[in-house]
Amino acid sequence: MKKNVLSVAFATVTALSASSVFAADGTVNFSGEIIDQACTVDIGTNNTLTVNLGKVAKSSFAAVGDDASVTKFSMKLKACPESITAAKVKFDGPNDLTDSSLLALTTETGVATGVAIALMTADKTDLGLNSVNAYSYALKPTVENTLDFYAAYRSTAAAVVAGKANSTATFSINYN
């Protein structure tokens, strides 16, 4: 009998402890939709796009926040269903330690320091990184839709040290 009482007491204490772990201070509602079909993304061979930012002299960066080698690149979306009229693009990659909105350079031997990569929309507004931004590209169902972007080296320190300046990001398309 004592074992049963102890078991019930232990179960009650455990249950009460577990319920306090789930105390709520608010509610988060998630919404979205799974669509039947999306646009076809066309960025090149093996679904990989290479953007060459070129070789840039460190003297191109006179102050923190200076951009150099602003380069346009594009993605194409085609065969879009009529129900999809707009898209936003989210770029994911390693955040720069100085400015988390910038893409960090790949850590390797001989990498440049004091610089990262800024990603921008068609109107050259900063995109940010690892979050869906507000910039929306209009899409038409029967044409090849071109989504233009810009990338640039951006100084994150007063002194930029020369070296390799490579990075990699992935992207996802969010349809409206």
Range of the domain at 132: 37-175
User: What average pLDDT score do residues 106-120 get?
Assistant: 94
Residue with the larger pLDDT of the pair 67 and 6: 67
User: Within a domain: residue 65?
Assistant: yes
- Residue 31 is assigned to a structural domain of this protein: no
- pLDDT classification of 8: cutoffs 50, 70, 90: very low
Q: Which residues contact 52 (CB under 8 A, 6 or more apart)?
A: 71
Please list the alpha-helical segments (H only) found in 54-123.
none
Mean pLDDT in residue range 21-33: 73
Per-residue pLDDT tens over the stretch 130-148: 988 889 999 998 899 999 9
Buried b (16+ CB within 10 A) or exposed e, 1-33: eeeeeeeeeeeeeeeeeeeeeeeeeeeeeeeee
Tell me what pLDDT residue 6 has: 45
| Whether residue 115 has pLDDT greater than 60 | yes
55: left (phi over 0), alpha (psi -120 to 50) or beta: beta
pLDDT at 22: 65
Q: Mark out the alpha helices in the chain (DSSP H runs).
A: 2-21
In a domain, 57, yes or no: yes
Confidence of residue 5 (pLDDT cuts 50, 70, 90): very low
Residues 6 or more apart whose CB falls under 8 angstroms from that of 150 comprise 70, 71, 72, 73, 119, 120, 121, 122, 124
SS3 112: coil
pTM: 0.79
pLDDT tens column, 56-98: 999 999 999 999 999 999 999 999 999 899 999 999 999 999 9
Residue whose entry in the numeric block shows the structure tokens 């040290």:
161
CATH code (residue 58): 2.60.40.1090
What average pLDDT does the chain have?
A: 86
Residue 167 CB: number of other CB atoms within 10 A? 20
Domain count within the chain: 1
- Count of other CB atoms within 10 angstroms of residue 147: 22
Instruction: Give the residue-averaged pLDDT of 5-13.
Output: 48
In a domain, residue 144? The reply is yes
Residue 27 counted as domain residue: no
32 band by pLDDT with thresholds 50, 70 and 90: confident
With a pLDDT cut of 70, the percent of the chain lying above it is 86
Identify which has the larger pLDDT, 94 or 12. Answer: 94
> How many C-beta atoms surround the C-beta of residue 139 within 10 A?
21
Residue 117 falls inside a structural domain:
yes
9 lies in some domain? no
Q: 8 lies in a domain?
A: no
